[in-house]
Amino acid sequence: MASRSYGKPPPKVQRFARAIVIAWIAIASLPIAVSAAERSIKIVALGDSLTAGYQLPASAAFPAQLEQALKAKGIAVEIANAGVSGDTSSGGLARLDWSVPQGTDAVILALGANDMLRGIEPKVTRAALTEIVSRLKARRIEVLLCGMLAPPNLGPDYARGFSTIYPELATKHGLVFYPFLLNGVAANAALNQRDGIHPTAAGVAAMVAGILPKAEELLARVRAKPAS
């Protein structure tokens, strides 16, 4: 009678075992999709001096204060400051790809104030903002659009043409929308620097308090997305 042992298995069994091991190694090496609910959400604040924090320390700028306000609520978030003083909507479009890197979950879009101050044709601003939004949406990046209002001294036609850009763009593309970034801050001497245009640290804090619910709405949209 042939003896039995626990020696080497038959060649066919060995080949099958090796195939199983190779398959498991391949599966283990695949990147694991992590949902936004399980990690820190990455946001880019794309704007001008109101975002950059003109004449303020970095810790007092709008992105830093908003990040701290969200973290105080227990929300894991990182907000990059992509504000450039003096930038227009067309300037933001020109630097969009390097200002908003791969891995960005959402963008707070706050451009247009300098377009208005320079009297740039509203159709130019509208076209640039529309292109920015379209390109971000194509990358599956959620957008919080911050509106800007033109003062009456620019004339009713300009004010109408400029101020309607933001709500119409938000409605068309289904964006989270905050109608006026400087709500409660504009024309308030106590919250603005001596130039009467740029907010103080306290003014930025007021901006953050106003926009905070919309920022939370933006984050909720990011978290609701399936992992990719």
Residues with catalytic function = 49, 195, 198
Of 101, 99, 103, 104, nearest in space to 83 by CA:
99
What does the alpha-carbon distance between residue 175 and residue 182 come to, in Å, rounded to a whole number?
A: 19
Q: How many CA atoms lie within 13 A of 26 on its CB side?
A: 6
User: Over the Cα atoms of the chain, what is R_g?
Assistant: 25
Task: Write out the two tokens for 145.
Answer: 């659009």
Residues 6+ apart with CB under 8 A from 46: 82, 83, 92, 96, 99, 100, 107, 108, 109, 110, 111, 132
What does the alpha-carbon distance between residue 90 and residue 183 come to, in Å, rounded to a whole number?
A: 24
What does the alpha-carbon distance between residue 172 and residue 176 come to, in Å, rounded to a whole number?
A: 11
Q: Kindly report the number of other CB atoms within 10 A of residue 192's CB atom.
A: 18
Q: Is 148 helix (H, G, I), strand (E, B) or coil?
A: coil
What does the alpha-carbon distance between residue 155 and residue 196 come to, in Å, rounded to a whole number?
A: 21
